[in-house]
Amino acid sequence: MAPIPLTAYSKDLNSQNLVASDLLIERFLVSSFTTSHMMEPVVSSEKAKFDTEASTDALLEMALEGLARDGHCGERSRLQDRLPASNPDTQHFILIELIKLNMALAADAGVIERIEDYTEAMPNGLSVATVPLDLVMEEIQLRKDAGQACSHADYCERFPQFAELLRPLLDSAEVTGAVRTRSVPPELPIGSQIDDFLLIQKLGQGAFAHVYLARQVSMHRLVALKISRGGGDESQALAQFDHPNIVRVFDQRTELGQDLHLLYMQYHPGGTLSDVVYAARDCQDGQCDSRLLVDAVDKNLLRAAQAVPERSLVRQWIRSASWPAVVSWMGVQMAKALGEAHRHGVLHRDVKPANVLLTAECIPQLADFNVSFAGAAGRAGAAASFGGSIGYMAPEHLRAISASALDQPENVRERADLYSLAILLWELWQGERPFDCDRHAVSWSDAVQSQLLSRSKPLNAPRQSGNASERVLEKVLRKALSHSPEERFVDGDEMAGRLRLSLHPEAAALFDPAENSFSAWVAKWPPWVIASTVILLPNMAAGILNYEYNYQHVMSTEGMRDGLQRVSWFVNLTVFPFAACAVIWYSRRIVRAVDAARRGVRVDSADLGEVLELGHRAARLSGSLWLVSGIVFSLVMATLFHEFVWTQAVHFVLSSMICGGVAMIYPFFGMAWLSTRVFYPLCLSATMQDREFDQRAKQMERRCEYYLLIAAVIPLLGATLMILSETASQGFRLTVIGAALLGLLASFFAYRVIVNAWRMMATVLSRKGSSVPGEVDS
């Protein structure tokens, strides 16, 4: 049975050491340049054939593992015998890493070797002039760990070419807070028992740990058991999480008799995301089938002699979904997991395919946290910034591990994890990473600089079919891959919200409208202009209709008509400017919200509420003004003209109520439509988060029903008014009733559009549960 990658199960517990040998071993055994199985003892030729990058990685992995297995090489020149048949640059690169590991193994035995010991033993392969910076840094770190003083003057004399670059390293009192007390634990026989664990199968091994599939006797369950010397804070960091997308660490124990540290966690036989990435590289023209994920998991399940789920809603959905949707689905869950870790102050720092375990249901679980605490800024030097594989590092992370940036480790924060996740998702989607870099680096420093240079170049153009899911996915990944951390997503939940939109193309049209759509055109206008137009025009139209009706069919004398005209001018010149000012005043928070959204700033929840309130407020204001206007008009006309009778006053009030109803339903449904289709999605397009969404949706639907009822009453009032009007012509009566019925139909249509839009938005914003199987709200 093929061993399962040791991704999450064999992490070096002392991973915060800057250039100590255990971290260097891990850096390359976990694929510095490409995704690969972190600790598989044999790299298959099938995976090594993909490109030069993968081949170099495989050769390096085998060389390092061979030396780690055989132990320290006392005859230093024999290290050259371990070099694989390859080009000179690759051989030089691997030789440097072998020297680092050999020096580290010697340090574990209490002997600190110097670089000159190797240049003298291998004059043809290495000279003082060609020593890379990272090898010098390795010696410095080993000496500091052993308590030896490191003089800047000494290193300037020995390696003058690095005098300035070494100054920040040697001038600091301490490079890292880590103390290396590591040694290789003994390999235990299969079938034996240690503490509460019966060893069933060896899953893999690293330089300083062995991992076994074991049965916990007391609990009758299978676990992944990691056995190492010494302890660490990995278990404490991960045990605090109870998240469906973070691997569960059960507990840790210490075997005092053998001085062994036992860490046991969930066992997932579905393999890692590395298997899926390798399969994605084989896809023709980047067009992957979603069954790729299920097939990769099934192969690992069969190798581990585990049952393949026969009935699974998650697997059924994956098989039916498009590949971009599947990538987004996995991204949503991993982004939420990172968001949960970040809320607890824990940074991952090593997000890559090999560190994503897959359950039998194909659900991803983040593992192998590089155990760095955001709150531990007091650790001097670069301890809080290192770890991870350079192929997936953010620019600030790469700068932090370069010698020129050792004094700025605090720049590597939560958004660096999101950058790494974006690289992973792009690679899963396209079968390759979003940028190109030099694959023939001759040293660790050159590799870091090559990767850093690639981050400043434009991203590669993706191969895509142009559907809505891919359009949204590409936009999300490009934002997460912004060179500046400030331009990326604020947190994992924000990134998850945007990725979730890719799973629902019908909702994507709301939050990501096409450039030539009506919604995109409206969004370009100032909100107060749109609001004033939608609210004031119906009121003006209603005013003209009301005036014509009262002038022609209610006023019985020329004097009363002249009086109506004078009073109308006075009222209109008073009320309409007041209404316009009120609309602009109420629109100010919409303007602020839209402006914040356009700048990519999170919109305040209160401002979001104001975006949806404007139509309701305008409707109430309009209805109130029309009712007051009808009463005031009647009182003024009765005061001015003694022949003005009560039946005319009733006509005035009824006509004002009808016009008030029109002035309520059109502004409300107009603004509700614009808020639902344009302004609210625009305000959420950057974050895709609104904790009050369900309450807002319920309130909007309830208000639409209320105003729809008002729209249904208006035709009845109009018909009543026309029946009471003896002077109204047949044509005028039909016009009024027809306009009222048209308003009812328009209101009903707007109601359906608004309610359906909120239901579509609920698929990505509601907290009541996801419509996609396997997606769990955190």
How do residues 536-582 score in pLDDT, each as one tens digit? 888 888 888 778 777 777 777 888 888 888 888 887 788 788 888 88
Going by the DSSP 8-state scheme, the letter that residue 258 receives in this structure is T
Q: Quote the CA–CA distance of 96 and 634 in Å, as a whole number.
A: 98
Lowest mean pLDDT among 265-269, 390-394, 399-403: 399-403
Binding residues for ATP: 226
By CB atoms closer than 10 A (0-12, 13-18, 19+), residue 326 is buried
Residues 344-356 pLDDT 10s: 888 888 899 988 9
CA 203, CA 219: separation in Å to the nearest integer?
Answer: 21
pLDDT at 18 over 50: no
- Inform me whether the pLDDT recorded for 403 exceeds 70: no
First-to-final CA distance of the chain: 37
Per-residue model confidence (pLDDT) at position 71: 86
Position with higher pLDDT, 284 vs 590? 590
pTM of the model: 0.68
Burial, 746: exposed, middle or buried (Cβ in 10 Å; 0-12, 13-18, 19+)?
Answer: middle
Question: Of 38-42, 274-278, 626-630, 729-733, where does the model show the most confidence?
Answer: 274-278
Residue 429, pLDDT score: 92
Angle at 447 between CA 443 and CA 449, to 5 degrees: 115
174-200 tens-digit pLDDT: 333 333 445 567 889 999 999 999 999
Q: What percent of the chain has pLDDT over 90?
A: 20
pLDDT in the model for residue 721: 62
**What pLDDT, on a 0 to 100 scale, did the predictor assign at position 444?**
66
Q: Higher pLDDT residue, 729 or 767?
A: 767
pLDDT band at residue 125 using 50, 70 and 90 as cut-offs: confident
Q: What is the pLDDT of residue 46?
A: 36
Tokens of 246: 């973070």
* Top-confidence residue, 134 or 4: 134
Give the mean pLDDT of 597-603. 81
Give yes or no for a contact between 532 and 579, defined as CB atoms under 8 angstroms apart: no
CA-angle at 210, arms to 204 and 211, nearest 5°: 60
Q: Assign 637 a pLDDT band (cuts: 50, 70, 90).
A: confident
The pLDDT-based confidence of 131 (bands split at 50, 70, 90) is confident
The better pLDDT of the pair 167, 252 is held by 252
Whether the per-residue pLDDT at 314 is higher than 70: the answer is yes
Distances (CA, A) of 147 to 178, 273, 462: 12, 41, 51
Mean pLDDT of 391-411: 68
pLDDT, residue 370, reads: 53
Structural element, H or E, at residue 221: strand 221-228
Q: Is the pLDDT of residue 260 over 60?
A: yes
Query: Which of 170-174, 537-541, 721-725 is predicted with the least confidence, judged by mean pLDDT?
Result: 170-174
Instruction: Grade residue 699 by pLDDT with cuts at 50, 70 and 90.
Output: very high
CA distance 493 to 243: 14
One-character DSSP codes across 361-429: T--EEE-----EETT-TTS-TTTTT--S-GGG--HHHHHHHSGGGTT-GGG--HHHHHHHHHHHHHHHH
> Binding site: what residues are annotated?
226
> Is the pLDDT score of 329 beyond 90?
yes
Half-sphere exposure of 99 (CA within 13 A, CB side): 31
Both structure tokens of 652:
């005035």
For the segment 354-364, the average pLDDT, to the nearest whole number, is: 91
Predicted confidence (pLDDT) at residue 19 exceeds the cutoff of 70: no
Lowest-pLDDT choice from 98-102, 316-320, 374-378, 582-586: 374-378
pLDDT attached to residue 439:
59
Tokens of 719: 């018909």
pLDDT digits (tens, 9 = 90+) for 193-246: 999 999 998 877 655 678 888 999 999 999 989 888 765 555 566 667 788 899
H-helix or E-strand containing 19? none
Got the DSSP string for 152-170? HHHHHHH-GGGHHHHHHHH
| Average pLDDT of every residue of the chain | 78
- Confidence band of 423 (pLDDT split at 50, 70, 90): very high
* d(C-alpha 13, C-alpha 239), whole Å: 15
What pLDDT sits at residue 283?
80
The predicted model gives 259-286 an average pLDDT of: 84
| Neighbouring-strand partners of residue 246 | 366
pLDDT recorded at residue 276 = 93
Give the pLDDT band (50/70/90) at residue 47: very low
Percent of the chain with pLDDT over 70: 79
125 or 43: which carries more pLDDT confidence?
125
Q: Which pLDDT band, with edges at 50, 70 and 90, does 99 fall under?
A: very high
Q: Residues 366, 372, 376, 378: what is their CA dihedral angle, to the nearest 10 degrees?
A: -160
